[in-house]
Structure 1
């Protein structure tokens, strides 16, 4: 167990079948930040918190610069390297994962949430829906996958 229960949650749920595909569909189709999406889910499922638009925007603002200046450029490099050089691709993938861990540490600190009883898939879906105005089929599918704990 790490000092960041949000990171532990993310590693556990992202390893479930179907979760990466839903998250990446929302990222690629709707521009949703996967780490923020997972934070919204964690807040509802493990912390029993219903986030407001303002609170989620404040938390997102704490990592926006890191995401734009570090995570996204690493993602672009990793995707570009995928077809070119396997060793470089693996290094970029590791660097991107480490940058995402730093982002999640910052999200955890900015959110100042503590896991507690009372979380639900309904709260998680309500929180994640703030990031996907108008909804998306991948969001509903993701909520179902996360509810099956």
Structure 2
């Protein structure tokens, strides 16, 4: 008998039909999602790309196997800290100067586009990690029963193997962070790919 959380190839095929980048853009454009993502990034130091990755899987009734995701998470965080965060810092540093200089404003816009490209690359690498797994290496499984509290499920996905006690306690107690997770998960359709 097949285990109920064994990967359903139909769900994986549906996942392949919606690239993570396109999913992320559509979700990010929904009401409240941008603010929720930025709140979680700034106040809980969570990686928005990983957050969107888990949302993508969830919307197709899938979840990453925590142990399998740990190594990929380390690589993705390295990318975020050495590339994306550097670009973000440069963009923020130029904000005041850009207000009074057209050339600095143009430079800041170029850096903003590079930051966006770095995030797109990070999402692409998350997607490849799932879709290019060897047949003997399972990286995602079906969510057996869709959770009643999807915000709690998402929080658990993000905090697994994250040794940041501050973020974990903040996500459990800070109303703004709990609200951000709730806002985000309310915009997901957990049934679109799980049928």
Tell me the C-alpha RMSD between the 2 structures: 3.0
State whether residues 20 and 56 of structure 2, in contact with CA within 8 Å, keep that contact through their aligned partners in structure 1. yes
Other structure's SS at 1:17 match:
coil
Residue deviations 1:2-47 (CA, integer Å, cap 9, x gap): x87111100111111211100000000000000000001101103x
TM-score by length of 1: 0.81
Alignment partner of 1:15 is 2:29 = yes
Distance 1:94 1:121, change over 3 A: farther
- How far did residue 65 of structure 1 move? 2.0
Match in the other structure for 2:187: 145
- Alpha-carbon distance in structure 2 between the residues aligned to 1:80 and 1:6: 30
Structure 1: give runs of 5+ residues left out of the alignment. Answer: none
Match in the other structure for 2:51: 37
Residue deviations 1:44-99 (CA, integer Å, cap 9, x gap): 103x2133432332331232221111011001111111222221221111000001
Decide which of 112, 123, 129 is 1:104's aligned counterpart.
123
Other structure's SS at 2:30 match:
coil
- Alpha-carbon distance in structure 1 between the residues aligned to 2:19 and 2:150: 16
TM-score by length of 2: 0.63
State whether residues 45 and 119 of structure 1, in contact with CA within 8 Å, keep that contact through their aligned partners in structure 2. no
Alignment partner of 1:94 is 2:101 = no
Structure 2: give runs of 5+ residues left out of the alignment. Answer: 1-16, 99-104, 132-138, 160-167, 173-177
- Alpha-carbon distance in structure 1 between the residues aligned to 2:18 and 2:72: 16
Other structure's SS at 1:66 match:
helix
Size of the aligned set, in residue pairs, is 145
- Alpha-carbon distance in structure 2 between the residues aligned to 1:29 and 1:19: 15
